[in-house]
Amino acid sequence: MKSLHGAEKEQLRESLFALGFDDVRFTDLSPIGPNRLKEWVELGYHADMEWLKNSIEKRLNPDLVLEGACSAIMLGINYLPSESGAAGQKRWGKYSLYQDYHDTVLKGLKEAGKLLEERFALGPRDYRYYVDTGPVMERGWAAASGMGWQGKNGMLISKTHGNWLLLATLLTRAPIAPDPPLKKGLGANFERTELGALCGKCRRCIDECPTNAIVEPGLLDANLCISYQTIENKGVIPRDLRAGIGTRIFGCDICLDVCPWNRFAQAGRQVLLAQRYSVVELGLLDILEMEIDRFREIFRKMPVKRLKLRGLLRNACVVAGNLREEAEWREDRLDSEWGKGVIAALIRLARYDEAMVRPHAVWALYRLLGKEAIEALAEAKSSEADEATLDEYLYWEGARWQGPSIPTFSGPSNNRF
């Protein structure tokens, strides 16, 4: 098949733009280097995401995904919220303020596939598409296509869209002339954009991460990542990471938000996204008191739904435990009616029927009440049998006090905000 280039290639690009994609680039499937995927997995930085470990060979060899594939169409969807309140809040990962993009972007990918069939006499087996789920090297290929470069935060950074692109990939057997990658005076032999190509000496993403998850430029330890802990971790969040989670109840954008390249970014057209910005209006007490029917109603078709209610309550307990240090969720003083409601909700959650929630509720109460939590939790503790929750009690009831009631956690002493 003759390689698609020139005017025909640009017509394809414009047609894909018309489907709602905010950036459209083309690349061949030459090896991406240097590629540290295997090393990343061997170091255990993938945490318990075994699906990443099990798909390494396919990610490194696209012929195992689509035999005979020779081109990748890289598609970017700008998800920067169009409302300032949604864009500026520090509670929810920005991508979660829409219906699940896997579903809405998939509709655009299906139309893109039909477009290839109609224009280039391809069959359904001549292409394959994914939106952030398949065994493909999205960010590496996106960088190779010139859509942006991989920043020191490991994410794709675009000159136009900043850090706010969701990536979709369409592999095809149709040869398409590749777009050039971004270059920065690296000579004529340069074929791939290197890590941090346009980051210069900036390391804000590394320095601002409260859990030190970026262990070196471009290398993220998921075990330490707030997004992993609040979304992918289905169990107990390690105690030493909870304070660093701060206000973030689902996902984290810190290493994205601090990037200077975002100053050029504008909200996208959102043709392939469905806004659900009203979620940011939820208060902490709303979530701590949430029942399953309300959870299903609010988060229907949203990414948060796959966390399940128990995961959201777990995360809400951690956020509550950080109220002294963080004002984002705080509505009033701890001794106000609102504050008393938070404490009462946490005491109830210390007896919640899902064991995963309970140690985080215990942790939050000790963080907020200090030694007074012993009395508040006496009934819950008396019937506790879960090992992780009992360990939380043991941790706090040991030699943890400076004087009669002040816990040794970092931050303000046992005041009421």
Residues 33-42 have pLDDT tens digits of: 667 888 999 9
Q: What does the pLDDT read at residue 184?
A: 56
**For the chain, what are the domain ranges?**
1-279, 282-417
Q: By the 8 A CB rule, do 139 and 111 touch? A: no
**Quick count: other Cβ atoms within 10 Å of Cβ 263?**
7
| Rounded Cα distance, 274 and 102, in Å | 11
The pair of structure tokens assigned to 355 is 């064991």
Q: What does the pLDDT read at residue 401?
A: 52
| Rounded Cα distance, 77 and 71, in Å | 20
Average pLDDT in the 373-379 region? 96
Q: What is the pLDDT of residues 401-412, one digit of tens each?
A: 543 343 433 333
C-alpha closest to that of 314 among 257, 238, 400: 238
Check residues 388 and 119 and name the one with the higher pLDDT. Answer: 388
First-to-final CA distance of the chain: 69
Q: What does the pLDDT read at residue 174?
A: 93
Average pLDDT in the 200-219 region? 96
Q: What is the pLDDT of residues 169-190, one digit of tens each?
A: 999 999 999 999 987 544 444 4
CA angle, residues 93, 94, 100, in degrees to nearest 5: 90
| Helices 358-369 and 308-321: angle between axes, nearest 10 degrees | 20
Q: What does the pLDDT read at residue 119?
A: 87
Q: What does the pLDDT read at residue 51?
A: 85
Number of residues in the chain = 417
Q: pLDDT exceeding 90 applies to what percent of the chain?
A: 83
Q: What does the pLDDT read at residue 34?
A: 63
Average pLDDT in the 77-81 region? 98
C-alpha closest to that of 196 among 184, 211, 209, 208: 184
The dihedrals phi and psi of 328, each to the nearest 5 degrees, come to -55, -45
Q: pLDDT exceeding 70 applies to what percent of the chain?
A: 92
| Rounded Cα distance, 331 and 176, in Å | 55
Q: Cis ω on the peptide bond leading into residue 81 (within 30° of 0)? A: no
Average pLDDT in the 240-256 region? 98
Q: What does the pLDDT read at residue 409?
A: 37
Average pLDDT in the 291-316 region? 97
Query: Looking at 132, 179, 257, 386, which residue is catalytic?
Result: 132
Global pTM exceeds 0.85? yes
Average pLDDT in the 141-164 region? 95
Average pLDDT in the 73-100 region? 97
Average pLDDT in the 361-384 region? 97
Q: What does the pLDDT read at residue 414?
A: 39
Q: What does the pLDDT read at residue 195?
A: 79
Q: What does the pLDDT read at residue 185?
A: 46
C-alpha closest to that of 91 among 324, 352, 412, 318: 318
Average pLDDT in the 189-200 region? 69
| Mean pLDDT over the full length of the chain | 91
Average pLDDT in the 240-259 region? 98
Q: What does the pLDDT read at residue 52?
A: 87
Q: Which of 154-163, 195-204, 225-234 has the lowest mean pLDDT?
A: 195-204
Q: Strands 401-402 and 406-407, how do they pair?
A: antiparallel
Q: What does the pLDDT read at residue 2?
A: 78
Average pLDDT in the 263-271 region? 94
The verdict on whether 132 is a catalytic residue reads yes
Q: Which residue has the tokens 């971790």?
A: 233
